[in-house]
Amino acid sequence: MAFLDLLRLVRANLARMKGRVAMTAIGVVIGTAAIVVLISLASGLRQSAVRDLSSIGPLTDISVFSRRVLAPFGAPTGGQEPVLNDRTLDKFRRLPGVVAVTPREPLDVPVTLRLNRLSGWVQVVGIEPKEVDRLGFPIARGTARLGNGQVIVGARVAENLAGVIWPGLMPRPASGQNSASHRTQPSPPDLLGQTLLLEILRYTEEGEQGAERTVRLRVVGVLEKTGGSDDYTVFMALSDVLDLKGWYLGRPVNPNRDGYSQALVKVSSPREVQRVEWEITRQGFYAYSAASVLRQINSFFLVLQGILGGIGAIALIVAAFGIANTMLMSIYERTREIGLMKALGATNRDVMLVFLAEAGSIGLLGGIGGVLVGVVLSGLINVGARTYLMAQAAQSGAVSEGISSLAHIPVWLPVFALLFASGVGVLSGLYPATRAAALNPIAALRYE
């Protein structure tokens, strides 16, 4: 039988048992909608997890730690841990795919940053000046060239100094207009070209205040906002940091013996991350990257999607038995017609195709309904979640910026759901259709 004729015949056959087809399809609607809603929830969760990940850093960055540094946090050490020094960094530099390598040496001593009358807490990190331009720092203004006595500052260091950090946590003014609320807070100064003062306090062993040292630092660059901790960081030349550290400790720092606490390895593309990370780990270091976290998150959510989708699929399996039942009943009712089809020269394959197509169509119809219902439900969930979160935010006085969606429907999901529902329909029609095809034409014609 030609495909179009088959479709026309199936449409006519379904039309004459409308009520029963509708009832049966509703089961498929429920199952498909469940699959769409549950997978869209998992997908939405994955999206917001991945979005938050952008604060970790670019996908081409690998953070490297010495296991020695991590030992207090429970990392296993064998006593003979390799040191993260210039020699090992050179080794990383020679790995294929690596673009730049720099230590990230924090100045882990009590410091205060001052600009005129403003002061604030700040994180100071020393990096290798020669590598700065290759590290791909997102420079908003100024240059990516770092010399001694110079710094590149994170996007929110200025806000930090001005005390306007966490605006959302500050109580709103009573007559809360946006422009008014801005006026009550000091606007952050433009740091580019300014000279900052970095104060370091050294305490004696008795805990009394000892010497104090102030360093003048010229701001040569301001970074773009990344959403991560780099926003609050002041980047300084590595030698400056080692010098200040040595002064604070009262003895020169020897990174080639003690190692750096952390390093940053930049690779040419996210594809290189896994291999380079594996190589670094093989050399006895601990490596961490947004790319590999992303990979783990993705595989976790893939499993979650599978589990949730599987729960939805249970409803669809129940519906499949409904389809099989409907088809069996319709075959009993149309036994004589099947006999007639055979007498008129229909092959067993023709008969089988008719009933498989009818079952598949019930699945497809239910699938279409299920996708529509699922899309609407996902939309309602998002509206509900957004309303709830906005109400929560309003109550706590926080400014809600960009509340993400709870449910997200990827493009493949409706297509997959339709194919799956139709496939379930065809599968559940398999047994009834086989029975119909195997009917003896004379017995079928005589069936009352």
Partner 1 sequence: MGASEKPVLLQTEGLRRDFPMGHTVVHALDGVNLTVEEGEFLGVMGPSGSGKSTLLHLLGGLDRPTAGHIWVRGRDLTVLDENELAAYRRREVGFIFQSFYLVPTMTALQNVEFPMLFARVPPARRRERALYLLERVGLADRRHHRPTELSGGEQQRVAIARALANDPILILADEPTGNLDSRTGAEVMQLLAELNAEGRTVILVSHDLAMIAYTRRHIRMLDGRIVGED
- Judged by CB under 8 A, the stretch of 221-229, 241-249, 331-339, 397-405 that binds partner 1 is 331-339
| 442 forms part of the interface with partner 1 (CB under 8 A) | yes
Q: How far is CA 133 from the centre of its chain?
A: 28
C-beta closer to partner 1: residue 1 or 328: 1
| 1 forms part of the interface with partner 1 (CB under 8 A) | yes
Q: What is the DSSP string of 27-89?
A: HHHHHHHHHHHHHHHHHHHHHHHHHHHTTT--TTEEEEE-HHHHGGGT----S-PPP-SHHHH
| 346 forms part of the interface with partner 1 (CB under 8 A) | yes
Coil, strand or helix: which one is 292? helix
Q: Are 400 and 172 in contact (CB under 8 A)?
A: no
- What are φ and ψ of residue 79, in 5° steps? 85, -35
C-beta closer to partner 1: residue 146 or 353: 353
Q: Are 224 and 136 in contact (CB under 8 A)?
A: no
* Binding pattern for the stretch 68-107 against partner 1, x by CB under 8 A and - elsewhere: ----------------------------------------
- From the list 311, 343, 380, 390, which residue makes contact with partner 1 (rule: CB under 8 A)? 343
What is the H or E stretch that residue 326 is in?
Answer: helix 290-333
| 349 forms part of the interface with partner 1 (CB under 8 A) | yes
Q: Rounded distance, CA 14 to CA 105, Å?
A: 73
- From the list 337, 407, 413, 436, which residue makes contact with partner 1 (rule: CB under 8 A)? 337
- From the list 83, 201, 372, 445, which residue makes contact with partner 1 (rule: CB under 8 A)? 445
Using CB under 8 A as the binding rule, the residues of this chain from 119 to 158 that contact partner 1 are: none
| 347 forms part of the interface with partner 1 (CB under 8 A) | yes
Sheet holding 98-103, edge to edge: 98-103, 262-267, 61-65, 286-289
- From the list 118, 197, 201, 340, which residue makes contact with partner 1 (rule: CB under 8 A)? 340
- From the list 36, 341, 356, 409, which residue makes contact with partner 1 (rule: CB under 8 A)? 341
C-beta closer to partner 1: residue 93 or 435: 435
Coil, strand or helix: which one is 153? strand
Give first-to-last CA distance, the chain, whole Å.
Answer: 27
- Judged by CB under 8 A, the stretch of 4-12, 183-191, 321-329, 407-415 that binds partner 1 is 4-12
- Which whole-number Å values give the CA distances from 269 to 28, 272, 288, 293, 300, in the listed order? 44, 6, 16, 16, 23
The nearest distance, CB 19 to partner 1, in angstroms, is 15
C-beta closer to partner 1: residue 279 or 337: 337
Q: Are 220 and 145 in contact (CB under 8 A)?
A: yes
- From the list 11, 16, 225, 275, which residue makes contact with partner 1 (rule: CB under 8 A)? 16
Q: Rounded distance, CA 240 to CA 244, Å?
A: 6
Using CB under 8 A as the binding rule, the residues of this chain from 402 to 441 that contact partner 1 are: 440-441
- From the list 104, 156, 266, 342, which residue makes contact with partner 1 (rule: CB under 8 A)? 342
The nearest distance, CB 379 to partner 1, in angstroms, is 40
Which residue ranges make up the site for partner 1 (CB under 8 A)? Answer: 1-2, 4-5, 9, 12-13, 16, 336-337, 339-350, 440-442, 445
